[in-house]
Every structure is written in C-alpha cells, then in structure tokens.
Amino acid sequence: MSQELSVLIVDDDFHVATLHSNYVQAVPGFRVAGHAGNAQQALQAFHSLRPDLVLLDVYLPDGSGLDVLRQLDCDVMMLSAAADTTSLRMAFRRGALAYLLKPFGQEELEQRLRSYARYRRMLEKTTHLDQEAVERARRLLFASDGSTSPSPARTRSATEQSIMDALTAQDALSALEVAERVGVSRATAQRYLSSLADDGAVEIQLRYGTTGRPEHRYARRG
C-alpha cells in the first residue's frame, strides 16, 4: 500500500483503548488516528478523521456500537465482551469484517490486521475483478497468518523463487536491495514482493527515517 492504514479505536474504557492502541501501533502499515469513548464521539471522529478502519466496541455508555456500525461508511471490526449470538449476527449482518471477544491477546488482533492489510493491498493493485479475484480477496481477508502461506504444490516462476531465495527471516531488505541481489529491476522486484506478501510468504516491515514516508522492507516469513 502507498501509505499506512489509519485506525479509529472506539472504547469507553481508557485503559483498554490504550492497550488496543499499542497493539495496532505494533503492526507495520497501521497507525492509530484517534480514540472515541462513546457513540457520539465515534461518529464525530469518523467524520473528521475518515479512518480506513474502525475498531468498535458494542457496549458504549450512550448507545450500542451496533447502531454506530450501520452509520459508518468504512471497514469495521468489532472488539467486544458481548458474547451473545444476537450481537454477533447483527454485527455481521451490518457489515463487520471481524468480531473479537474480549479479552484477547495482541497476536489475535495482529493476525486480523495483517490479513486486512493483505486484502487492501490486493484490491489496490486490482483494476478489474473476476470471480477468482473476488474469492482470493475473501480468503485474504478472513485468513489468519498461519493459513495464508502458499500451498507446497504451488509452482513458483524462476524469478519469484530467486526473490524468495534472496530473503531471510532475520534480515529485512528493501525492494532495491532485493532487485540488486537477484539482478532484476526495482519495479519487477517490487511486483513480486507485493504478490508474495499477499500470499503470506513474505512479511512487510517499516523502517522509519527522520523525514518522509517509512521505507518498506521485506523478510521471509518463518
């Protein structure tokens, strides 16, 4: 993706909101745009910040997050202690992409965010959808990190395999560094790296400098 995905966190418990904020900030490619403690603040923050994604609680002091959900024209994941089936069905019926029951660990939220990022990257590169692309987008969105690795039976092209061979799990490289190691153009390396990231074989990390956009770096997953 060309820039970080912005996230609005809606939770009336300040400590919980801070915890979830730390979880989000730890995932490369995401930034917390703001917080809201009730339904009214959530709608105001949405209209002013226009986030890519909202992490929304069901239980809010001035109303239900499920009522807020249907007023948000963006992607939403529900993070709530509401464990009843009615809330779950309503959340999905109104368009929630995920439903995480509190309390949950950092890894659980991170997996959803990484899957969401892969889904967004795929759509950003796609100008026209066929049914196969629709199904791939759905798999990317709802897969956990552990289930997105390419099948062992999948045959890689020679260039793709060379790019995989140039990567390690320990040292993240830039697209230019990969291109120089493999002997291809930066644009070609970038295209293959993005595809491998979408498939879950490669992890994208961000390196922040003193100015400008963060640099995307790539490491072999696992």
CB count within 10 Å of CB 162 equals 17
My answer on whether 103 and 167 are in the same domain is: no
pTM above 0.85, yes or no: no
- Binning the chain into helix, strand and coil, the percentages to the nearest 5 are 45, 20, 35
pLDDT in tens, 36-85: 999 999 999 999 999 999 999 999 999 999 999 999 999 999 999 999 99
Q: Which of 108, 134, 164 is the last residue of a domain?
A: 108
Mean confidence (pLDDT) of the chain = 88
Q: How many domains does the chain have?
A: 2
Secondary structure letter of residue 198 according to DSSP: H
pLDDT in tens, 93-137: 999 999 999 999 999 999 999 999 989 988 888 778 888 888 888
Residue 114 lies in a domain: no
Strand partners, 9: 35, 55
Model confidence band, residue 150 (pLDDT cutoffs 50, 70, 90): very low
Cβ atoms 141, 115 nearer than 8 A: yes
The residues, any chain, with a CB within 8 Å of residue 151's CB and separated by 6 or more, are none
In this predicted structure, the answer to whether residue 139 has a pLDDT above a threshold of 80 is: yes
Residue 164 lies in a domain: yes
User: In terms of Cα–Cα distance, which of 36, 84, 85, 91 is closest to 69?
Assistant: 91
Higher pLDDT, residue 212 or 145: 212
CATH number, position 44: 3.40.50.2300
Structural domain of residue 166, as residue ranges? 149-222
